Structure 1
Amino acid sequence: MDGVPVIRTATAGDLPAITAVYAREVDDHVATYEYSAPDEAEMRRRWEAIVAQGYPYVVAEIDGRFAGYAYASSYRSREGYRWTVEDTVYVHPDFMGRGVGRALLQHLIDDCTTRGYRQMVAVIGDVTNTASIALHEKLGFHGVAVFQGLGRKHGRWLDTVQMVRPLGAGSKAPPESA
């Protein structure tokens, strides 16, 4: 297991692994405020919806093994937000600390920049998720807000961190399809 992360487009064949990684996060952690882990059919529906909207959805492999997944999606549904995406990154526990999250997020940044998006937002579940905050900072995100007690899970109130990173010219120039 000395390989480097290889990033590729997610396929239906990745859904069992994606579902398992997400279920662990739902059940044991606070990166997501969802209480009940969705089954594979629901994860397929979500994956299909994101891909149908034209957003990137990718997986990382190391030495042929599933190491994590990431996707970009709409930050908000209103038309004025159409140049802003939200990133989502999950790493399989066996591959934490091996550059998987960084490779996935960098791929999303590059892909979304190429697609003409101008801002990427990270919505991070709880201030205790220091690894995610540090990852985003390393890739050019800066904190814009901490919403105290915005969610509740596992018997406690959770703060939500929001970070943002410009893509391309960011907000310094109008997008080409404005």
Structure 2
Amino acid sequence: MSETRIRDAREEDIPQIAAIYRTHVLSGTATFEETPPDEAEMARRLAAVLASGHFWLCAERDEAVVGYAYATQHKARSAYRFTAEDSIYLRPETSGIGIGTRLLGELIARASAIGFREMLAVIGDSTNAGSIGLHRKLGFRHVGTARGIGWKFGQPVDVVYMQKSLSVPARRTEPPHFSTLNKK
């Protein structure tokens, strides 16, 4: 069995990241995008996440990117500064073999290390058993479902909200700048 390595995403990963996301855009409701972004747009998104000091991870197996995940501040307004939101996508043929658990586990550890207090999962569709199960396995709890707020493939699509409280250093009152994590 091949070993999976979790590492920081790099610009040269963009073609594989874009291909993974394209599959999800065209065949599922995990994302509400209906037109797959091209590689240039995915490169812009990666650069924006990294420039903001947040993190984007890749799971690599046999020198191929088989999944990716990133965490950013939940919303731009300052009162959300302690709350992260995760996004995670895997190549469909790698689901169920622990890659998602490792990716999300690393995101949780990094978010906690830099002072985030809460992490949200905003999951496309209440039928997305894989993502819901993954988040539940790692300690997220269901906090709500917005019914039918999306429309994809000719039908209404729900959004499931899950939340996890993170452990943070006891004396921290403000999170450090996110880039401190990337300077290991």
Q: Which TM-score band applies after superposition, normalised by the shorter structure?
A: over 0.9
Tell me the SS of whatever aligns to 1:35.
coil
Q: Equivalent residue for 2:119?
A: 120
Map of 1:16 onto structure 2 = 15
Q: Unaligned stretches of 5+ in structure 1? A: none
**Equivalence map 1:30-45=2 (5 Å):** 30-45=29-44
Q: Does 1:84 align with 2:83?
A: yes
Verify the 8 A CA contact 1:5 1:103 in the aligned structure 2: no
- The secondary structure found in structure 2 opposite 1:133 is helix
Equivalent residue number for residue 111 of structure 1: 110
User: Percent of pairs identical after alignment?
Assistant: 42
Contact 2:112–2:168 (CA under 8 A) maintained in structure 1: no
**TM-score, normalised on structure 1?**
0.94
| Per-residue deviation, residues 116-154 of structure 1 (Å, max 9, x unmatched) | 111100000001100100100000000000000111101
Name which of 167, 174, 177 aligns with 1:177. Answer: 174
Residues 113 and 168 in structure 2, CA contact (< 8 A), matched pair in contact too: no
The alpha-carbon deviation at position 111 of structure 1 amounts to 0.6
Corresponding residue SS for 2:32 = coil
Distance in 1, Cα, partners of 2:7 & 2:90 = 15
Q: Is the 8 A contact 2:116 2:168 kept in 1?
A: no
Structure 1 contact 106–139 (Cα < 8 Å) conserved: yes
Task: Give me the whole-angstrom Cα distance separating, in 2, the residues matched to 1:45 and 1:169.
Answer: 31
- Rounded Cα–Cα distance in structure 2 between residues aligned with 1:60 and 1:127: 25
Gaps of 5+ in 2: 176-184
* In the alignment, structure 1 residue 156 sits paired with structure 2 residue 155: yes
Cα distance between partner residues in 2 of 1:167 and 1:156: 35
- Cα offset, 1:65, TM superposition: 2.3
CA distance in 1, matches of 2:130, 2:93: 15
What is the alpha-carbon distance in structure 2 between the residues aligned to residue 133 and residue 165 of structure 1? 13
Cα deviation code 1:68-123 (max 9, x no counterpart): 00000121111000110100000112312111111100000001111111110000
Count of aligned pairs between the two proteins: 175
Question: Is it true that 1:95 corresponds to 2:94 in the alignment?
Answer: yes
